Amino acid sequence: MQDAHMIWNEKQFLKAFEQKKIVRTGHFALKSGEHALEYIDKDTLYMHAYDTLLSDVSWHMAHAVYAAGMHDIDVVVAPEKGGIVLQYLISRHLSLMTGKNIYGAYAEWKTDRGRIYDPMWGWGKKGMKAVLVQYDSFTFRDAYKKIIPSARVLVVDDVLTTGTTLKPLIADIRLLGGIVERVSVLWNRGGVAAADLGVTNLFSLIHKKLTTWKPHACPMCKGGISVTKLK
């Protein structure tokens, strides 16, 4: 049995986000270093446990996949922090829609360092020279590692900008033997396509692209408007 929800369109979600001050306007320095006129305050979204907004968001993200006829999802996976809430709610909604138990799991971000050896960097007394590199990946808790192999996995996240978070997550799920062809996000603010993530289907509740500038090209900076640095 499905939860009862009214079908919202993109304009209705944008209006609700503006009313709840989830979409903020001003002059912001984003974590990426770029500047923007608008900012999606995800923390404010996740505060709305007392009303139906967060439930509506997660239901629509699940319903987009279900309505497309994709009823074979076994596990919903999200990156940690904000995604932890989404994977729980979306896996619950999909379980009710499909009538089967769909697991939820989250991945934890980690940064590793290693050495890459290549002749292009030359040779030293001890052999081929190496360069020290830093790379990002995800790790899963043991319980999650047991349910991912051979499972059809739906990857979910709140805001998609460039895919630098989801691409390594998808790769690490596949390394565990999971099958990832579908991604569902709340807001695709970077105009990312499914092919950019290496998947077949990408679902987004909101497709509005938010313009950003490098600090030296920012029109607000040139106009002397004070900037709010986001942490």
Going from N- to C-terminal start, the domains of the chain cover: 10-229
| pLDDT at position 3 over 70 | no
Instruction: Tell me the pLDDT tens digit for each residue of 147-164.
Output: 999 999 999 999 998 898
Task: Average the pLDDT over 102-123 and give the result.
Answer: 69
In percent, the amount of the chain with pLDDT more than 90 equals 67
Between 170 and 50, the more confident residue is 170
| pLDDT at position 211 over 70 | yes
* Helix H or strand E segment including 64: helix 53-67
- State the pLDDT at residue 127: 53
Q: Where are the alpha helices (DSSP H) in 68-226?
A: 82-98, 142-147, 166-175, 194-197, 219-222
pLDDT band at 231 (very low <50, low <70, confident <90, very high): confident
Class of domain 10-229: alpha beta
Pair 130, 116: CB distance under 8 Å: yes
Task: Average the pLDDT over 199-217 and give the result.
Answer: 93
Pair 157, 185: CB distance under 8 Å: yes
Whose CA is closest to 189, among 162, 165, 209?
209
Q: Which token pair is 118?
A: 């290549």
pTM, two decimal places: 0.84
